[in-house]
C-alpha cells in the first residue's frame, strides 16, 4: 500500500505538470515553472525509495527526495516574493541558491561522511523497507533553515495581505494555504503516520494552487512587454475590471490621472470608490448594449488636461474576461477642435499640421516597434534601416527608368512599409531568435513562422486605418517577402506573379542586405560575390522582370553600403 501511495502521488504530480505545460505562456513566472519541474522529480524519489532493496538504493532515492527540501523551499520563497511585489536582486538569488547548494552537498555525503546522517541502514524485516537514520549535525542545520524559510514565507504573505493593496488577496490566499499545509506535513507528519510521509501530498497541493495562481495572474498583466516598449512614448493610462466590476489593476499613468484608484484593493469591488463608479463603471452598461459607445471625454476640475477614454473588452487569449479603460491625453486635439468655432481659416492649416504630426507619430511608433523587435535579434543590427534604404533605391530606379507605370502612392507606401517586414520576429522565442549561430532544421521551422505572424501583427496595428491599400501592402510585405519566384519559398509556397509585387521588391533588398552584412554566423560577403548570387537567383528566387532595375540600382546600393563602413 505504501508503494502504491507514492506511485499515485508521483503520477498525479506528473499529470499536474503536464497541465501546466499545456497552458504555459512565455511570460509565466520562472520560479513557478521550476516548481512544476522539480516536484515530480522529488516524488519520484519517494517511489524509488519504496522500491529499494538495499541500503545503497534507499540512500540514492533519499538524496533525490532532499532536492525538495534543499531547493524547493527557496524557489517557493522566490515565488512568494514576486507575487507580493517585493523586489529581489540577483545577489539575493545567488546567495540563497548557494546556501541551498551547500546544504545539498552535505546531503550527497550521506553514506560517505557522518555530516548529514551519522548512521543509515535499510530495514526490510517488516515487509516494507524503512530507512533507519541517525542524524548528524548538518541535519539540524537543515531543519533550522527549512523552518526559517517557512517563517519568512508566511510572514511575507501576512505582511503583503495587510500592507500592499496592489497585490491580489486571492493570490495571497492561494499562496498561504499550501504553505501552511506543507508546514503541517513537515512538522506533524511524522506524528500522524510513521509509515508514510505527507510531504508528497503537500507538493501536489502546492501544484494545484499554483495552477490557479498562474491562471489568475494572466488577468493582472496590464500589457505585454513588447507593447510596453511600443507605447512608451504615448504612455496611456490603463484600468482593468472583471465582469463583476472587481478591480484587477491599473498602470502608473492611470493612477496619476485618477488617484482614487490607490484606494481600491485588487479583486475588491471597484464601485466602492464613488468617483470611479461614476466616471468609469457607469459607462459599462451603454457599452454592453452598443459597442459603438466606446469613447468618452474626461476632464477633472482644476486640471487643464482633457483625456479621451476608450472602453474595450479585456481579453485572456480569445476569451473576454472583463473591461479595460484606456486613457489618452487628448488635450491638444480638443484645443484644435475648439478652434473650429472661432477660427475657420486658421483651423484648416492647424488640422493639416496636426494630421501630419499624427502620421509622423504613427510612423515613428511602427518604426520604434520594428527597431525593438530587431534589438532582440543579435544577428541583424541595422537591418531595418539598410533594407528600407535598399527598397527606396530600387523604387527610385524603377521610376527613373521611364518604363515603369508604378503609381506614386504604391512607391510611397512600400518605402513606408519596408521597416515592418520583420515584425513577426517578436513572436519568436529568444532561444531561437538570439541563437549565436546557424539554426537547426527544427529552429528554422520556428523562425519561418515570423512571416505569417508579422502579417497578423501588421493587420492588428493598421486595422483601424483609413488607408486600406497601405494596410494590405504592408501585410503583403511582411507575409510574403520570403516567397520565391519558383515556389520554393515560405510560408505559403507562392509562385511567380502569385507573389505580390511589393513582396518581390522587398525580397531583393532583404537578401542583398543579408549577403553583404556581417552576421554572428558569417562574415560580410563581397559586393561581387553577392551580386553573382542575386543575378543567379533571377528567375528562380527573384522576379526576373526586376533584374534591369536591380542592375541599374547596383552602383547606388554598393555606394550606400560602403558609406556605412566609412
Q: Give the pLDDT confidence score for residue 429 in this predicted structure.
A: 82
Is pLDDT at 370 greater than 80 in this prediction? no
Q: Give the pLDDT confidence score for residue 244 in this predicted structure.
A: 93
Please tell me the pTM assigned to this model: 0.46
The three grid cell numbers given for residue 252, joined into one nine-digit string: 502608473
Which tens digits make up the pLDDT trace of 3-16?
A: 899 999 999 999 99
Q: Is the separation of the CB atoms in 241 and 143 below 8 Å?
A: no
Break the chain into its structural domains and give their ranges.
2-220, 225-329, 352-565
Is pLDDT at 120 greater than 70 in this prediction? yes
Average pLDDT for 445-459: 90
Is pLDDT at 372 greater than 70 in this prediction? no
Residue whose C-alpha cell reads 529499494 in the numeric block: 52
- Alpha-carbon distances of 443 from 291, 429, 439, 475, 493, rounded to whole Å: 42, 10, 5, 24, 19
Tell me, rounded to whole angstroms, the distance of Cα 20 from its chain centroid: 16
The one-character DSSP state at 194 is S
User: 193-197, 338-342, 436-440: lowest mean pLDDT where?
Assistant: 338-342
d(CA 419, CA 388): 6
Q: Tell me the pLDDT of the chain averaged across its residues.
A: 85
Is pLDDT at 230 greater than 70 in this prediction? no
Which tens digits make up the pLDDT trace of 454-479?
A: 899 888 888 877 789 999 999 999 99
CATH number assigned to the domain covering 352-565: 1.10.3210.10
Looking at mean pLDDT, say which of 106-115, 308-317, 347-356, 397-406 comes out highest.
106-115
d(CA 178, CA 171): 12
Average pLDDT for 439-466: 87
Assigned CATH class of 2-220: mainly alpha
Which tens digits make up the pLDDT trace of 487-544?
A: 999 999 999 999 999 999 999 999 999 899 887 767 889 999 999 999 999 999 999 9
225-329, what's its fold? Answer: Beta-Lactamase (3.30.450)
Phi and psi, residue 376, nearest 5°: -80, -25
Average pLDDT for 31-42: 89
Is pLDDT at 224 greater than 80 in this prediction? no
The three grid cell numbers given for residue 102, joined into one nine-digit string: 551547500
State the angle between helix axes of 501-516 and 547-565 in degrees (0 to 180), rounded to the nearest 10: 40
d(CA 105, CA 108): 5
What kind and span of H or E run contains 314?
Answer: strand 307-316
Which tens digits make up the pLDDT trace of 281-307?
A: 999 999 999 888 788 989 888 888 889
d(CA 146, CA 169): 25
Amino acid at each position: 500500500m505504501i508503494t502504491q501511495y507514492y506511485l499515485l502521488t508521483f503520477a498525479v504530480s506528473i499529470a499536474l505538470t503536464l497541465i501546466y505545460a499545456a497552458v504555459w505562456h512565455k511570460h509565466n513566472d520562472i520560479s513557478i515553472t521550476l516548481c512544476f519541474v522539480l516536484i515530480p522529480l522529488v516524488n519520484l524519489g519517494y517511489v524509488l525509495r519504496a522500491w529499494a532493496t538495499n541500503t545503497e538504493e534507499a540512500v540514492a532515492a533519499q538524496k533525490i527526495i532532499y532536492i525538495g527540501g534543499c531547493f524547493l523551499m527557496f524557489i517557493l520563497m522566490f515565488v512568494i516574493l514576486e507575487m507580493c511585489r517585493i523586489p529581489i536582486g540577483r545577489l539575493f538569488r545567488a546567495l540563497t541558491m548557494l546556501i541551498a547548494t551547500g546544504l545539498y552537498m552535505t546531503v550527497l555525503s550521506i553514506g560517505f561522511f557522518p555530516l548529514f546522517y551519522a548512521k543509515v541502514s535499510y530495514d526490510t524485516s517488516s515487509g516494507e523497507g524503512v530507512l533507519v537514520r541517525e542524524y548528524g549535525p548538518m541535519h539540524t542545520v537543515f531543519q533550522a533553515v527549512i523552518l526559517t524559510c517557512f517563517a519568512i514565507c508566511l510572514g511575507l504573505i501576512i505582511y503583503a495581505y495587510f500592507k500592499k493593496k496592489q497585490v491580489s488577496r486571492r493570490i495571497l490566499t492561494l499562496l498561504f494555504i499550501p504553505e501552511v499545509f506543507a508546514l503541517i506535513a513537515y512538522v506533524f507528519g511524522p506524528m500522524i503516520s510513521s509509515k508514510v510521509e505527507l510531504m508528497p501530498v503537500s507538493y501536489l497541493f502546492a501544484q494545484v494552487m499554483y495552477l490557479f495562481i498562474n491562471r489568475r495572474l494572466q488577468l493582472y498583466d496590464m500589457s505585454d512587454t513588447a507593447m510596453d516598449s511600443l507605447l512608451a512614448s504615448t504612455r496611456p493610462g490603463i484600468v482593468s475590471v472583471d465582469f463583476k466590476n472587481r478591480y484587477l489593476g491599473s498602470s502608473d499613468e492611470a493612477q496619476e490621472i485618477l488617484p482614487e484608484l490607490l484606494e481600491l484593493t485588487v479583486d475588491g469591488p471597484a464601485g466602492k470608490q464613488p468617483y470611479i463608479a461614476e466616471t468609469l463603471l457607469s459607462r459599462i452598461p451603454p457599452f454592453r448594449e452598443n459597442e459603438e459607445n466606446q469613447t468618452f471625454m474626461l476632464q477633472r476640475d482644476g486640471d487643464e488636461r482633457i483625456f479621451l477614454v476608450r472602453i474595450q473588452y479585456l481579453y485572456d487569449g480569445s476569451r473576454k474576461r472583463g473591461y479595460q479603460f484606456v486613457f489618452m491625453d487628448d488635450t491638444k486635439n480638443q484645443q484644435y477642435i475648439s478652434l473650429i468655432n472661432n477660427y475657420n481659416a486658421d483651423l484648416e492649416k492647424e488640422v493639416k499640421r496636426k494630421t501630419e504630426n499624427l502620421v509622423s507619430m504613427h510612423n515613428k511608433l511602427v518604426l520604434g516597434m520594428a527597431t525593438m523587435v530587431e534589438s532582440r535579434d543579435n544577428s541583424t543590427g541595422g537591418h531595418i534601416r539598410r533594407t528600407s534604404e535598399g527598397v527606396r533605391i530600387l523604387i527610385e530606379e524603377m521610376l527613373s527608368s521611364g518604363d515603369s507605370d508604378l503609381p506614386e502612392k504604391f512607391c510611397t507606401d512600400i518605402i513606408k512599409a519596408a521597416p515592418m517586414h520583420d515584425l513577426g520576429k517578436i513572436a519568436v522565442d529568444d532561444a531561437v531568435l538570439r541563437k549565436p549561430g546557424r539554426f537547426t532544421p527544427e529552429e528554422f521551422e520556428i523562425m519561418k513562422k515570423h512571416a505569417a505572424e508579422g502579417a497578423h501583427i501588421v493587420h492588428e496595428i493598421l486595422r483601424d486605418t483609413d488607408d486600406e491599400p497601405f494596410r494590405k501592402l504592408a501585410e503583403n510585405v511582411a507575409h510574403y517577402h520570403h516567397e520565391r519566384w519558383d515556389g520554393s519559398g515560405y510560408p505559403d509556397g507562392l509562385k511567380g506573379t502569385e507573389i505580390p509585387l511589393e513582396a518581390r521588391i522587398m525580397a531583393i533588398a532583404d537578401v542583398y542586405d543579408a549577403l553583404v552584412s556581417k552576421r554572428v554566423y558569417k562574415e560580410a560577403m563581397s559586393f561581387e560575390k553577392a551580386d553573382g548570387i542575386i543575378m543567379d537567383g533571377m528567375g528562380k528566387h527573384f522576379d526576373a522582370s526586376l533584374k534591369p532595375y536591380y542592375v541599374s540600382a547596383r552602383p547606388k546600393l554598393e555606394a550606400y553600403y560602403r558609406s556605412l563602413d566609412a
